[in-house]
Amino acid sequence: MSEEIIAEALHPYPAGLVIATKGGYARPGPNQWVEDGRPEHLRAACEASLRRLRVDQVDLYQLHRIDPRVPAEDQLGALRHLRAHGKIKHIGLSEVSVRQIQHARTIVPIVSVQNRYSITDRGSEDVLEYCEQEKLGFIPWFPLAAGRVSGSESPIGRIAARWKATPSQVALAWLLARSPVILPIPGTSRLEHLEENVAAAELKIDANKMLELDRMARAG
C-alpha cells in the first residue's frame, strides 16, 4: 500500500514533513471501493494507517466521503475522538459541498477540503471560494483531468507551446495562481513527472495570462 511505501522511503521522517492520509472507504473486492463511515471502521482504519506509516499521530486525516448511510455526527464524532486522543492532529474532508463543510465544522475543526477541480473542471468553484473565505486548505484532486489538458493540439497545449512549457505545467501553474489556499496533488508515476510537476511552480501566470487561459479552457 502507498502508506507502507511512504514509510519505507521516508521513515524516519524529517522535521517539518506533513503526512496526510485518508479513511472512510472499505474494499470488499478487487477494484471495489465502498463508503464506510461507521465509527468502528474509521477507528480501525486510522489505527492501521498509524501502523503502516510508523507514526503515533497522523498530521492530516481526511474523510474519504461522508457516508450517506451513517449520521455525519457519528462519522465526524469518531474523528473528533481520535483527535482528542492524539491519533490525529488535523481533520480534512473530501468531495463535500459547502453545506456539508459548514455542518462538519459545528462538530469538529476542519482544516482542509479535497475536491475534484482543475482548469477544465470548475464544479467545486463555490467550495473553493468558501475555503478562501474561511482560510481552509483546498486540495484539488484530478488536477490534470487525466490528461485531458495535455494534448499538444488542445487549447492549453497551444498556449503551453507558446510559453515554452508543458500542458501539465500550465494546468498546475494555473491552479497555484488561482488561489493561495490551493495545494495540487498531481499523480506522479515517474521521476520525469515529478521533475516536470515541481518545475510548474516556476511558471508565473499574471492576470492577463489567467484571462487567456480561462478563455481557452472554455473554448476547449
Assigned domain for 131 exists: no
Are 17 and 59 contained in the same domain?
yes
Q: Please report, for residues 60, 95, 135, 158, 161, the alpha-carbon distance to residue 64 in angstroms, rounded to integers and kept in the order given.
A: 12, 8, 21, 36, 37
Segment 203-216 mean pLDDT: 83
pLDDT of 74 over the 90 cut: yes
- Nearest Cα residue to 113 out of 183, 170, 172: 183
CA separation for the pair 129, 127 (Å, rounded): 5
Please, are residues 137 and 161 in contact by the beta-carbon 8 Å criterion? Answer: no
Segment 179-204 mean pLDDT: 80
Assigned domain for 120 exists: no
Are 6 and 89 contained in the same domain?
yes
pLDDT band at 147 (very low <50, low <70, confident <90, very high): low
Supply 148's cell numbers.
Answer: 485531458
Q: Which residue has the higher pLDDT, 4 or 1?
A: 4
Number of domains in the chain: 2
Are 159 and 84 contained in the same domain?
no
pLDDT of 149 over the 90 cut: no
Q: How do residues 78-130 score in pLDDT, each as one tens digit?
A: 999 999 999 999 999 999 999 999 999 999 999 999 999 998 888 999 999 99
User: Alpha-carbon Rg of the chain, whole angstroms?
Assistant: 19
- pLDDT at position 209, please? 84
Are 109 and 149 contained in the same domain?
no
pLDDT band at 28 (very low <50, low <70, confident <90, very high): confident
Are 20 and 108 contained in the same domain?
yes
Are 98 and 160 contained in the same domain?
no
* Residue ranges making up the domain that contains 200: 144-220
pLDDT band at 220 (very low <50, low <70, confident <90, very high): low
The count of other CB atoms within 10 Å of the CB of residue 169 is 21
CA separation for the pair 163, 167 (Å, rounded): 10
Degrees, nearest 5: CA angle 190-206-139:
45
- pLDDT at position 202, please? 84
- Nearest Cα residue to 82 out of 49, 54, 35, 52: 49
- pLDDT at position 18, please? 95
Please, are residues 64 and 42 in contact by the beta-carbon 8 Å criterion? Answer: no
- pLDDT at position 32, please? 77
Please, are residues 78 and 103 in contact by the beta-carbon 8 Å criterion? Answer: no
- pLDDT at position 65, please? 95
Q: Which residue has the higher pLDDT, 40 or 189?
A: 40
Are 105 and 166 contained in the same domain?
no
Tell me the range of 120-124, 140-144, 215-219 where mean pLDDT is highest: 120-124
Are 36 and 109 contained in the same domain?
yes
Assigned domain for 133 exists: no
Please report the sign of the dihedral spanned by the C-alpha atoms of residue 54, residue 57, residue 58, residue 64. Answer: positive
Q: Which residue has the higher pLDDT, 21 or 152?
A: 21
Are 159 and 76 contained in the same domain?
no
